[in-house]
Amino acid sequence: MQETIRILMTDDHPMIIEGYQNTLLATKKETQELQIDIANTCDQSMQLMQRSIEDENPYDILFMDISLPPSADETITSGEDLSKYAREILPEAKIVILTMFNEPYRIHNIIKEIKPEGFVVKSDLTSRELASAFQAVVNNPPFYSTTVTRFLRTTLESEIEIDDIDRKILYLLSQGVKTKSLTNHLGVSTSSIEKRKKNLKEVFSVLDSQDETLLNEARKKGFL
């Protein structure tokens, strides 16, 4: 039985899409027929999604890059936004995130926000892995690549439980943002940030008051 799979690949690098195409076409099963559409921008991607609904031929799988140039109206600034949009209009479609980002915070966020059927960090990716990822998503989602899996495992294994704001604080601190400026990024008062930092230090058993030590510890435990 011939199976037609409609795919939308969104990436601003044509070379990458070409790579995906080459790999998928070379490794697809005999029974599978792939219809691949390509979008290089957010706007293009959204148009194609819309059209597939209008044509009553919605996409089955969406390959999404995370860093994308923003849409013309600037409502969609990344693959994350685009994925959320896709979830709304194409609830049946399976989303595969392919990204260069490999920081645990971003990974955590993406999983939390989008719950993608596939999540591959580009540096992990070989054609074989992509092929197996594709097959896994089609048949038995989800598929997470090595880096993602490792991250999930460390956070699951560790007894440390911190909420999203704590994660963001850690992330921003690691980006070199000063504690004073954190309020602007988080919309939380300085005193509550201080409280959270104190709590974080306790959680990560950091004895001194240096942020550096806290960050090192968080990194060790896989939160950064």
Task: State the residues that interact with other proteins by CB under 8 A.
Answer: 11-20, 22-23, 26-27, 67, 100, 122, 125-128, 130
Residue 180 to residue 193: CA distance in whole angstroms: 9
CB of 22 to other proteins, least distance (A): 4
CB of 2 to other proteins, least distance (A): 22
CB of 121 to other proteins, least distance (A): 11
Measured from the CB atom, is 27 or 135 closer to other proteins? 27
Measured from the CB atom, is 12 or 160 closer to other proteins? 12
CB of 79 to other proteins, least distance (A): 13
How many C-beta neighbours within 10 Å does residue 8 have?
A: 25
Measured from the CB atom, is 77 or 127 closer to other proteins? 127
Residue 68 to residue 89: CA distance in whole angstroms: 20
Give the burial class of 207: count Cβ atoms within 10 A of its Cβ; 0-12 exposed, 13-18 middle, 19 or more buried: exposed
Beta strand spans in 15-109 (E) = 32-39, 61-65, 94-99
CB of 221 to other proteins, least distance (A): 26
Measured from the CB atom, is 133 or 193 closer to other proteins? 133
For 119, residues 6+ apart whose C-beta sits below 8 A from its C-beta are: 96, 97, 107, 110, 111, 142, 143, 144, 145, 148
Measured from the CB atom, is 83 or 99 closer to other proteins? 99
